[in-house]
Structure 1
């Protein structure tokens, strides 16, 4: 009888080990993350350089995935890679992510993983006659990364809707141009570009010259801080890798906490990783700015979704910001 009990106990132990091994192996062994350029992606840089995601994975009792950091640019290419299985986590503006979420509700089911942070985007101008967006004329041209598609065009339409009751009133003045090129154009004063809707560090670089002034702050348009960029994935990947997802978000939270307590070191890390020519003190000042907050908590997501639904950019708005983001964030004070 004792022998039988021992045999039974051994069998149960072996079964438990096998179940545990199966559960562990269910998590992905690799993690492909798209990382774009710019200070808005600082949390990812810190998480990568300091191995924070791997540390959190170990703490959760899983083998840390082999992380591949991919430099991709453009929502279309990124979404195609995500849906085809060539990418696990994509990154981009919150407004484009909401469009992807809406378009894939019945198939790939793209969903937000975490916010990367809240930071104000500013319209600058070298035209002394322009004090508000109401002062723009047909002679002005407003540069932004992509017209009608993306974060800046949506915010400009929100501002126009409030100011004129006509969301597309300023659309004809917009021009597609990368931030570095637009910065050079507006500072030269010899281009058709008289305004630029841009983000850190380009805002600070331009204002520091004294050649431009601010016209519009996106925080004013949204009525407070809002998420700028996010990380997103597919419902299938999230469901299959719950602990990897948990480790990733915890790694970002750890990165954000480290950035807040070590802004000078974070600036140095950013400059090295991006091979940037910016001065450390300049980058540190941006990190310390009161309108910059690196956080995984989504802010203003519902306002973006409501406006995009109003314009017909998405078929219907979300019932709550939580509908657009994975459940692990739902306990956070998002909006």
Structure 2
């Protein structure tokens, strides 16, 4: 596994003095530049000297981000399910996992040929599907399940998004690109009208979830709000008495939704059909394990993802009735159509088949 962590040390100060955002971000950007150099080196190792454009059956490089929303990949990695299903199809598959942060970074890596499968929010998928139509033809492979995302604030004055002011900063993986950013735009459109969909963009700051969670838990920075994902949102609510939920993604999207997905290029799917099929088979098996054996799934996540997540808190996340492990996408089309209405997409998605590759296990999604 190639694990490029974007997590800086958790701040140790317990002082109530607020740290100016520019200082916090300056430190973060210095660390980010160092990590970028590491990423370039790691990407070269992944390519193994064969060139970014050269795809091959049996090679699989998967980029994922932070959080339990990537549990199906953690299970597949730990149990070597992709390799197992590859062998059943007569191919030895070498699997590499790269950990990145932010849909924009993931999309760039996919287009550069440095990864084969991108793991990110459904909004970055829509962005790349729209941009590559008629060229690389990027489409979705599978959902990683339905998870509620919470907008968490440690500012007692922020009860709804209407209470956010210029004194607040909203941390999320990527400004204007990540699924959290797009859901926040949809929430803004629902509250103030679609002409004001980007009203809160100016308050957004791009930070990996672990960094944002540290800011919410410790306090002392201008980052008062975090559009998170599990388990980070759950850690914030458990660790900081002032942390509270301002917004739930399911409320904005109208029900359970597949916020995190995998996607790839048409070239990879066509040139590596056995590897592609083994990935789907592995994800399907991983979803069944996560749904029926949450204790085992929790242990797998703790082994593979690292960090200091409390096991009991993690089990609460996995057993949450709002969390549904499945690879069939659910309730994704509406966000894509909203993005088209506000000009973020040139092409309007009409049905799932427009932006997901065909597969019997995907059919019937929306």
**TM-score for the superposition, normalised by structure 2:** 0.79
CA distance in 2, matches of 1:37, 1:176: 14
Q: Is 1:179 the equivalent of 2:209?
A: yes
The answer for the alignment partner of 2:238 in structure 1 is 208
Shift of 1:158: 0.2
User: Does structure 1 conserve the Cα–Cα contact (< 8 Å) formed by 2:107 and 2:124?
Assistant: no
Q: Which residue does the alignment assign to 1:221? A: 252
Supply the distance in 2 between the matched residues of 1:245 and 1:177 (Cα, whole angstroms). Answer: 31
CA contact (8 A) 1:297 1:329 kept: no
Higher mean Cα deviation, 69-78 or 154-163? 69-78
Paired residues, what number?
309
> Is it true that 1:111 corresponds to 2:142 in the alignment?
no
Residue 127 to residue 331, structure 1, CA distance change in 2 (3 Å): closer
**Deviation for aligned residue 1:328:** 0.8
In structure 1, list runs of 5 or more residues that go unmatched: 1-25
Q: Counterpart of 2:107?
A: 79
Task: Tell me how far apart the structure 1 counterparts of residues 104 and 172 of structure 2 sit (CA, whole Å).
Answer: 17
Aligned mates of 1:146, 1:91 — CA distance in 2:
14
**Partners of 1:118 and 1:281 in 2: CA distance:** 20
Tell which deviates more after alignment, 186-195 or 217-226: 186-195
Q: Contact 1:159–1:221 at 8 Å: present in 2 too? A: yes
CA contact (8 A) 1:82 1:90 kept: yes
Match of 1:317, SS? coil
> Which residue pairs with 1:12 in the alignment?
none
Aligned partners of 2:148 and 2:207: how far apart in 1? Answer: 19
The structure with the greater share of residues assigned to helix is 1
Counterpart-to-counterpart distance in 1, 2:347 and 2:317:
36
The alignment status of 1:124 with 2:166, answered yes or no, reads no
8 Å contact kept, 1:309–1:316:
yes
Indicate the SS of the match to 1:296.
coil
Q: Distance in 2 between matches of 1:36 and 1:143?
A: 15
Equivalence for 1:8: none
Q: Structure 2 matches for 1:138-177, cutoff 5 A?
A: 138-165=166-193, 166-177=196-207
Alignment match, 1:304: 335
Q: 1:181 to 1:76 in 2, by over 3 A?
A: closer
Q: Structure 2: where are the runs of 5+ without partners?
A: 1-54
Shift of 1:264: 0.9
CA distance in 1, matches of 2:359, 2:321: 27
Please tell me the root mean square deviation across aligned C-alpha atoms, in Å: 2.0
The runs of at least 4 aligned residues of structure 1 exceeding 6 Å deviation read none
Give the match's secondary structure for 1:226.
coil
Report Cα offsets for 1:73-113 as digits up to 9, x if no partner: 34344334433433221211110111001100021111111
Which of 38, 52, 59 is the aligned partner of 2:67? 38
Q: CA deviation at 1:331?
A: 5.3
Tell me how far apart the structure 2 counterparts of residues 74 and 258 of structure 1 sit (CA, whole Å): 27
| Cα offsets for 1:125-145 (capped at 9, x unmatched) | 222232221222333322222
Cα contact 1:93–1:230 (8 A) shared by 2: yes
Cα distance, 1:229 vs structure 2: 1.3
Structure 1 stretch displaced more, 245-254 or 65-74:
65-74
1:100 maps onto 2:131 in alignment:
no
Which residue number corresponds to residue 246 of structure 1? 277
